[in-house]
């Protein structure tokens, strides 16, 4: 549990919290930073004479609350951590890649959670208060922040922090981690080399962004990648990447930049690979139009329960842009070649489960055809869509 060392301070938890509050108030009134000297002076003003070790403990506690993610900082710094979730002052969970685990970290009360959430929102340049009780933003270090305040969140504020890796995994690392086997890795590399357009599908937290970042790292170094994202999470290991990020409206309700705006701007930036971090709205129309006008190798991610559900999902998104069913499927047939679907099993392991190709039926509607499926034994088996996938990869590689 992350608290100040009780024996060294010789105080009970209530006295310890009161002491921290008193020191914090003294420093705020004087405008001084929580340096060891300033904390020692504040303690003397409270009639407390503590040793160097205890003073440093107070300094660490104050800096933890005033800088970075506070009590959550050690969790975010752990290698392998993907998500840190706070459901209340005594409910802090972490995902280290194998499912959620409850931690021993405790906040003093719900007010402390709210204060941290508001400070993080401010660091991201966003507002979080009773008038605007939720926020979805990117912190300066790239961490994705989502926070909801009561009464929208029942009982206590809720925080969700998603860690963005500073470096993308290599394909070899994903094979070693068991996310994909060597044969499927070779196939994914062939899809990228052949400049086939593709979508990575799956549920929340299944590793779509991680896999897409890895695959973008396989793009030739002479190609220009332009990324359009709601929150900049993709980190491809590539020498020529341009990153665009959406922007919400300001307090006057102006200045909003949507993902659809970014896709349109990206098309004017001479992209060799146009990438939409997550297709979730009307921008699907602009993406499909781009992929139909010579922009090969475009890609992105989309939420879907299975690869076969992707056409229906895109159809629903297209309707938000006023695109009819027949028109959507007509564009889809010519724009998209492959769907790579990820799943997350009960143990928390993320895996490539399916690779499908798209095929238009006699009625003009586009469906997916399984080319490769991961069997119960963990091996990938070729299905009826395999000849088409092989032909697409061979044709694109010429």
DSSP 84-151: EEEEETTEEEEESSSSEEE-S---SSHHHHHHHHHHHHHHTT---SSSS-EEEEE-TTS-EEEEE-TT
> Which single residue is written with the structure tokens 């030739």?
220
> What is the band of 74 on the pLDDT scale with cuts at 50, 70, 90?
confident
Measured between alpha carbons, how far is 350 from 106 in angstroms, rounded to an integer? 29
Say if residue 24's pLDDT is above 70. no
- Say what the pLDDT of residue 1 is: 41
Pick the CATH number of 171-397 from 3.40.190.10, 3.40.50.300, 3.30.1550.10, 3.90.550.10: 3.40.50.300
E strands, 173-223, where? 198-202
| Pairing label, strands 338-344, 198-202 | parallel
Quick: pLDDT tens for 203-219: 988 889 999 999 999 99
Three-state SS at 160: strand
Average pLDDT over residues 272-282: 91
DSSP 8-state class, residue 245? E
Q: Are 65 and 4 in contact (CB under 8 A)?
A: no
Percentage of the chain beyond pLDDT 70 is 84
Quick: pLDDT tens for 145-190: 999 999 999 999 999 999 887 778 899 999 988 888 888 999 999 9
Ranking 34-48, 128-142, 383-397 by mean pLDDT, the lowest is: 34-48
Could you tell me the residue ranges of all domains in the chain? 6-66, 70-162, 171-397
Three-state SS at 201: strand
Percentage of the chain beyond pLDDT 90 is 47
E strands, the chain, where? 83-88, 91-95, 100-102, 134-138, 144-148, 158-162, 198-202, 225-229, 241-245, 273-276, 299-303, 338-344, 350-360, 366-374, 380-382
- Say what the pLDDT of residue 64 is: 57
Cα–Cα distances in Å, from 71 out to 40, 222, 254?
A: 22, 44, 35
Chain-centroid distance of CA 301 in Å reads 12
DSSP 8-state class, residue 70? G
Q: For residues 20, 107, 64 and 95, what is the CA-based torsion angle, rounded to 10 degrees? A: 170
CATH class of the region 70-162: alpha beta
Quick: pLDDT tens for 350-379: 899 999 999 998 888 999 999 999 988 888
- pTM to 2 decimal places: 0.77
> What is the band of 103 on the pLDDT scale with cuts at 50, 70, 90?
very high
Q: Which two tokens stand for residue 203?
A: 């549920």
Measured between alpha carbons, how far is 306 from 295 in angstroms, rounded to an integer? 26
Q: Count the neighbouring beta carbons within 10 Å of the beta carbon of residue 362.
A: 5
Mean per-residue pLDDT of the chain: 85
* Orientation of helix 283-291 relative to helix 310-319, angle to 10°: 120
> What is the band of 201 on the pLDDT scale with cuts at 50, 70, 90?
very high
Measured between alpha carbons, how far is 321 from 281 in angstroms, rounded to an integer? 8
Q: Count the neighbouring beta carbons within 10 Å of the beta carbon of residue 278.
A: 21
């Amino acid at each position: 549990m992350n608290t100040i060392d009780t024996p060294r301070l010789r105080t009970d938890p209530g006295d310890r919290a009161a002491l921290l509050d008193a020191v914090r108030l003294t420093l705020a009134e004087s405008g001084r930073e929580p340096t060891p000297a300033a904390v020692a002076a504040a303690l003397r003003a409270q009639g407390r004479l503590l040793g160097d070790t205890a003073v440093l403990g107070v300094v660490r506690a104050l800096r933890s609350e005033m800088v970075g993610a506070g009590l959550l900082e050690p969790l975010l710094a752990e290698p392998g951590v993907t998500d840190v979730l706070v459901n209340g002052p005594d409910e802090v969970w972490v995902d280290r890649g194998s499912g959620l685990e409850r931690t021993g970290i405790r906040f003093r009360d719900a007010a402390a959670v709210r204060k941290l959430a508001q400070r993080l929102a401010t660091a991201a340049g966003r507002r979080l208060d009773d008038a605007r009780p939720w926020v979805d933003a990117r912190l300066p270090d790239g961490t994705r922040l989502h926070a909801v305040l009561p009464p929208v969140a029942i009982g206590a504020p809720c925080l969700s922090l998603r860690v963005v890796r500073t470096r993308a995994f290599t394909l070899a690392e994903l094979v070693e981690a068991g996310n994909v086997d060597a044969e499927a890795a070779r196939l994914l590399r062939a899809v990228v080399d052949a400049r086939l357009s593709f979508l990575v599908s799956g549920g929340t937290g299944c590793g779509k962004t991680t896999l897409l970042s890895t695959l973008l790292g396989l793009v030739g170094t002479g190609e220009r990648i332009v990324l359009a994202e709601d929150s900049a999470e993709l980190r491809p290991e590539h020498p020529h990447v341009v990153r665009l990020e959406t922007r919400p409206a300001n307090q006057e309700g102006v200045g909003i930049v949507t993902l659809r705006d970014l896709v349109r701007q990206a098309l004017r930036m001479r992209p060799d690979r146009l990438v939409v971090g997550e297709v979730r709205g009307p921008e699907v129309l602009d993406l499909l139009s781009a992929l139909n006008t010579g922009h090969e190798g475009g890609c992105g991610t989309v939420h879907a329960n299975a690869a076969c559900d992707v056409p229906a999902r895109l159809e629903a998104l297209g309707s938000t842009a006023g695109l009819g069913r027949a028109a959507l499927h007509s564009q889809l047939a010519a724009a998209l070649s492959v769907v790579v679907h990820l799943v997350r099993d009960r143990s928390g392991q993320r895996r490539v489960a399916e690779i499908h190709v798209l095929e238009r039926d006699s009625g003009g509607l586009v469906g997916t055809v399984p080319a490769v499926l991961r069997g119960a034994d963990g091996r990938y088996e070729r299905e009826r869509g395999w000849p088409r996938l092989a032909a697409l990869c061979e044709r694109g590689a010429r």
